Chains A and B, each alone.
Chain A
Amino acid sequence: MNIWLVMLLGGLITFGMRFSLIYLLAEGRFEIPQTIRRALHYVPPAVLSAIIFPELFLRDGMLDVSLENTRLLAGLVAILVAWFSKNTLVTIIVGMVALFLLQFFF
C-alpha cells in the first residue's frame, strides 16, 4: 500500500475516533463499556513492547542474547535510565551514546 494511502486512512481513522463520541454522545446514544475502558490502559505497554522486543532481541530475524548484541545492551541501559530518570530525552540520549560506545569497543 502506498504511504500516502496509509497516512490518509490512518488520519481518517484517528479523526473518526476523536469525532465519534463527541458526535454520538451528544445524542445520548452510546456509552463505552467498562471492560473496553479497562483494556485501553494496556494498549501502550502492549503495543510498545511488541515493537521494542524484536528490535532488541533479534538480529536478522534470529534471537541473539549474547554480549555481542549491542542493541540489546544499549536498550537495557536505556530501560534503567528511563526507570530512574523518567525523562524521555535523557533516555534517548544515554541510549544512543551507549550504543555508540558499545559499537566502538566491540
Chain B
Amino acid sequence: MNQQIQNFLAGIRAEIPLLIGVFPFGMIYGALALNAGLSTAAAQMMSSIVFAGSAQFITTQLVHEATPGLVIVLTIAVVNLRHMLYSASLAPYLASLPTRWKVLLSYLLTDEAYAPTILHYEKEGTTPYAHWFLLGAGCSLWSTWQVSTALGIFLGTAIPESWSLDFALPLTFIAMVVPVLKNQPAIAAALSAGVVALVAFSLPYKLGLILAALVGILVGTILEQRKSTRGIL
C-alpha cells in the first residue's frame, strides 16, 4: 500500500470517534433548519457551502428570528474567527504544498478535522505525504456531515410543530456554552454578553446580538489580561 493511501486511511481512522459524535448533530441541524423555515435545498446546501457546525446552527436560529442577512453574515464571521488560529497552526506543515492542495485542505479545515491532524503532525512531523492524513480526516467528516444533514431533513419533515422543536436550538447552545465556562473571565464574558443582549434586544437589525458579543469578548479579554498581569506582579 502506498504512503498516500496509508496516510489517508490513518486520517479516517483517527476521525471515526469524532464522526460518531458529529452524526446526531448533523441530523439535529437538518431537522431544525427545516423547522426554522429554510427550504430543503438551502438546508442541505448550507452543509457544503458553509460547512461549519456551530455557524450553521446559529444561522438557522437567526433565520428563524428573521434577522437581516448582513447581521447573519457578520455573526458567521465572528463565530468562525477561530479558524484563523487553525489556519495559522497548520500553516508551517502545509507550506510546501501547491496552492490547489492548500485550497482543498482549507475548505476541509473544521474543528473536528483540525484536532486529530495537529496531533498527527506534532507526533510524526512533516512527512512527504502527511497532508493525506488531513484529506482523509476532512473527507470522512465532510461525507458524514452531508449524509447526516440529509437524514435530519428527511426526519424533520415528520416531526409535528406542537413539539416546540425550535427550543432544541437554544438547548444546543446551552450544551455548547456551559462546558467552556471554566474560569471567571469566561463566566463574566457569558453573563455580560447575555445581559447586553437583553437590554439591547430592541435595537434595529438585531444589532444587539453583535453588540452583546463584542461586549462579552471585551470583558473576558480584559479580565484575563488583568489576571495575568496581577500574576506577574
With a cutoff of 8 Å between Cβ atoms, the chain B residues found around residue A86 in the complex are 178-179
Residue of B55, B77, B198 touching A63 (CB-CB under 8 A): B198
Bound-state Cα–Cα, A54 to B193, Å: 11
Residue of A32, A51, A74 touching B84 (CB-CB under 8 A): A32
Residue of B50, B63, B69 touching A14 (CB-CB under 8 A): B50
Tier of interface size on chain A: 35 or more
B83, A17: Cβ atoms closer than 8 Å: yes
A6, B59: Cβ atoms closer than 8 Å: yes
Assess A50 versus B216: contact at CB under 8 Å? Given A13-B73, A40-B81.
Answer: yes
B173, A51: Cβ atoms closer than 8 Å: yes
With a cutoff of 8 Å between Cβ atoms, the chain A residues found around residue B83 in the complex are 14, 17-18
With a cutoff of 8 Å between Cβ atoms, the chain A residues found around residue B130 in the complex are none
B197, A25: Cβ atoms closer than 8 Å: no
Q: Interface majority SS on B: helix, strand, loop or mixed?
A: helix
A26, B82: Cβ atoms closer than 8 Å: no
- Count of chain A to chain B residue pairs whose CB atoms are closer than 8 Å in the complex: 262
With a cutoff of 8 Å between Cβ atoms, the chain A residues found around residue B38 in the complex are 3
Bound-state Cα–Cα, A39 to B222, Å: 9
Stretch from B2-10, B90-98, B149-157 forming part of the interface with A: B90-98
A82, B173: Cβ atoms closer than 8 Å: no
B76, A18: Cβ atoms closer than 8 Å: no
With a cutoff of 8 Å between Cβ atoms, the chain B residues found around residue A47 in the complex are 58, 75, 78-79, 193, 209, 213, 216
Bound-state Cα–Cα, A21 to B102, Å: 10
With a cutoff of 8 Å between Cβ atoms, the chain B residues found around residue A4 in the complex are 42, 45
One digit per residue, 1 when the CB lies within 8 angstroms of any chain B CB and 0 when it does not, for chain A 65-106 equals 000000100110011001100111101100110011001000
Q: Interface majority SS on A: helix, strand, loop or mixed?
A: helix
Tier of interface size on chain B: 35 or more
Within 8 A of A (CB), among B129-157: none
Bound-state Cα–Cα, A15 to B77, Å: 10
A45 CB → nearest B CB, Å: 4
With a cutoff of 8 Å between Cβ atoms, the chain B residues found around residue A63 in the complex are 198
B52, A42: Cβ atoms closer than 8 Å: no
Query: Which residue of A has the minimal Cβ distance to B38?
Result: A3
Bound-state Cα–Cα, A18 to B25, Å: 22
**Residue in B39, B90, B177, B218 with the greatest tally of chain A CB atoms within 10 Å:** B177
Instruction: Tell me whether B119 is interfacial, beta carbon within 8 Å.
Output: no
B166 CB → nearest A CB, Å: 9
B107, A18: Cβ atoms closer than 8 Å: yes
8 A-B residue pairs with Cβ-Cβ distance under 8 Å, sorted by A, are A3-B39, A11-B51, A14-B83, A18-B84, A23-B99, A26-B92, A35-B225, A48-B190
Interface contacts beyond A3-B42, A51-B170: sample of 8 additional A-B pairs, CB < 8 Å, sorted by A: A6-B72, A10-B77, A11-B49, A14-B55, A22-B94, A44-B177, A50-B196, A82-B174
